[in-house]
Every structure is written in structure tokens, then in C-alpha cells.
Structure 1
Amino acid sequence: MQQSRQDIRSHVRTLRQKLTPQFQQSAAEQLVKQCVTSQAFIDSQHIALYLSNDGELDTAPLIQALWLQGKSLYLPVLHPFAKGQLLFLHYTPQSTMVDNCFGIAEPKLDQRAIIPAQQLDLICTPLVAFDSQCQRLGMGGGYYDRTLSRWFATGVGAKPLGLAHDCQRVDNIPIEPWDIPLPQIITPTHIWQR
């Protein structure tokens, strides 16, 4: 019998939260090696990432490595007026950070730092679970599905890419009509292609 989306979210989040700090650090270091040698990152200058939360694979070492390579990085910010939408703001070591309504740090809103999503080269998405077909299951808010819908419909704009722990892979994600599959998901030990 197929697990419900909420059961999968609950199970995988529990697995992820049980990972030790040492395991998390090692996985983050392995992720850097995977990403900086992948063609998607090599070919991209303007990259949207996210700050890890709730046991997600730590993106801080990857952010540092990409800054050292001279890449321009951006973080998602909850749109203050368009409910369920994301903005992407330029992110530097000097960025002023604030916590959003979910308690996740994001750059303080500044119109001068916004980049339209279609001008990004790569959008790295968080996810709760994924399958070998690169179907992504998020937290359920639909923020990234809405953000990626234009790319999915046209193939134009920023390429999406998922980042996850290996333990977040499940046999099958129950798909809904609004779900946007990813062309690629990178874990510390594997690169999954759609």
C-alpha cells in the first residue's frame, strides 16, 4: 500500500533529525565535492541556495565554497504581499538577516537586492523526500512548485536542482498535478538524473 505524502514527510523528517552533528558535517563536506565538480554548478554564475533548517543537509559549506569561486548567491525570501510566492535576494557575508514567519533566516527585504527568478542560472531547492525519478516532496507549502512552474512549462529560465541527504530517498512519491519534478537531485554520494 502506498504511503501518504504526510506519512512520508513525517518519516523522512524523523530520519533526518536523528542524524548526528558529525554525520551532518561529513555529509555537508561530501556535498561540496559533488556540487563543485557537477556541470550544473560549473556552468552557473547566479545560484539560488537556501539556509538549512529542520535537519536538512547543511548548505553553509557549499555557500562558502561557491563564494570562494566568485559565484553570486541568492536566498529565497517569502514575498511580503503575494502569499505563497518567493523572491530571491542577493546574499553576501554582509547581508543583514531576519527570521521569517517559519523561523528561517532570510536576507532583510531590500528591493535593490532582488533578482527575478528567470535571471538566475540555477535554483537549488530543499526537499523532504525524493524518489529515483527525481520527484520532489517538499514541506507542503508549494513555494518552490509555484516558483518553478514557469520553468517546467517552458524550459526557459533557471534550472532547478534538489539537494538532499541520501536517507531522504524513498521508493515512490505520490504525485499531485501541481508537483514539479526536478531534472537533477544531488546527495552526498549520488547524482540522480531525471
Structure 2
Amino acid sequence: MTPRELKAEMRRERLALRDAIAPEERAEKSLAMVRHAADAVRLQPGEIVSGFLPIRSEADIRPLMTRLGERGARLCVPVILDKQTIVFRELIDGAQLVASGFGTIGPGPDAPELDPDLMLVPLSAFDRTGHRIGYGAGYYDRAIDRLWQKGLDPQLIGIAFDCQEVPSVPAEPHDVRLDAILTESGLQIFSPEIG
């Protein structure tokens, strides 16, 4: 199998395991993530943190984002512009959310676009060296590359449940390695800038 085929198989398998988690259990596991990371992640007031609003069976990191906001972070979430591009729009209390593609919602076009300093990244599978498998569309890889082209280097924390771990992700040259992974079991740090 090619690396692409292996990733597709791992994606299907791990997302099926994630989908099988009962909603109540998923909520408890999501809250465990808050306990592990809400105060452990290095964060300066005013830094921009991108999170995401959960779709399908993703972890619900809204409580974590709330806590990071209380610590002084400016919050944003991804919004899909087209088949190639996501931008990160500021998320503020009371802002109207609109459908933004791929089953997601986010702030409308009037919200400011921000460049994240720290990104909470959804994924379908990960390994213990910081490699991830996304959902297959490459949105985050391209968004991170655009930030690098601007001279920025956001810290990347993958968000997943333990069941999404695989022994080894078949990494390709274009793949972006995570600085940490957060699951219900804890925050595993690969880069000293995170914790």
C-alpha cells in the first residue's frame, strides 16, 4: 500500500472507533481534556488561539477554549472559504455563527481574520511522535504553510481521543508534525514551547 492508502485506511478505522464512543462518554472525555490542559499550556495574554467547534464525533473543546479565553487568549475558529482554503475568524461571545462548509459553523465574513499563535488541531489519527492524519482535505497543512510563509510559527496541539492513536503514521514530506497531543489521558508534549 502507498502512504496515502495506508493513511486512508487508518483514517477510516480510527474515525469508526471515535464514532463508536457514546455521547455521554465523549462529553466526559472532553472534560478530562480541559482538566489536563486548561492551565498547563503556556499562554501569554493577547495570544491568539484557534480552536474548533465540534462536528460529528469530535471532542468538544469549547470548555477548554473558554478557559484559555479566561486566561487572556483571543479565540478564533477555522472557516472554510473554498475547497483549498481555511481562514481563522475571531470568535467572540454573542457573535452570529454561519454555516461554513464541511459541516462546520463559524463567524461570518464581518469577523476579523486572525493568525493563530497556538492551534488546537482536529485529526483522525495520531502517533506518539507527533505525526497526525487529518480528514484528508489538507486544509490545516495548507493553512499552517501559509502562516509559515508569513514568518509565523504557531504551536500545534492535536486534539483526539486515545482510541485514535496508531502505532506509526506513514509521514510524507508535506505533513506537519504536532508539538503536542491532547487526549482524555493527558497532554503529551513533543516541543518544550508548549508546557
- CA distance in 1 between counterparts of 2:46 and 2:141 reads 21
Aligned equivalent of 1:122: 118
TM-fit CA distance, 1:100: 2.0
Q: How many pairs align?
A: 188
Q: Is the 8 A contact 2:45 2:72 kept in 1?
A: no
Q: Name the one with the larger helix percent.
A: 1
Q: Is the 8 A contact 1:134 1:192 kept in 2?
A: no
- Closer, same or farther: CA 155–33 of 1 in aligned 2, 3 Å: farther
Which letter does structure 1 place at the counterpart of 2:156?
P
TM-fit CA distance, 1:156: 3.8
TM-fit CA distance, 1:74: 0.3
Q: Is the 8 A contact 1:148 1:160 kept in 2?
A: no
- Unaligned 5+ runs, structure 1: none
Alignment of 1:26-175 (within 5 A): 26-41=28-43, 45-80=47-82, 83-110=83-110, 113-115=112-114, 117=115, 120-149=116-145, 156-175=152-171
- CA distance in 1 between counterparts of 2:45 and 2:162 reads 24
**Please, what TM-score do these two structures have when normalized by structure 2?**
0.86
Q: Is the 8 A contact 1:131 1:173 kept in 2?
A: yes
- CA distance in 1 between counterparts of 2:149 and 2:176 reads 10
**Please, what TM-score do these two structures have when normalized by structure 1?**
0.86
- CA distance in 1 between counterparts of 2:45 and 2:138 reads 27
Aligned equivalent of 2:188: 192
Deviation readout 1:25-73 (Å, 9 max, x if unpaired): 1111111111212233467732110111121111122123233334210
Which letter does structure 2 place at the counterpart of 1:92?
I
- Closer, same or farther: CA 42–162 of 1 in aligned 2, 3 Å: farther
- CA distance in 1 between counterparts of 2:90 and 2:150 reads 25
- DSSP-derived class of the 1:124 partner: strand
- CA distance in 2 between counterparts of 1:165 and 1:44 reads 29
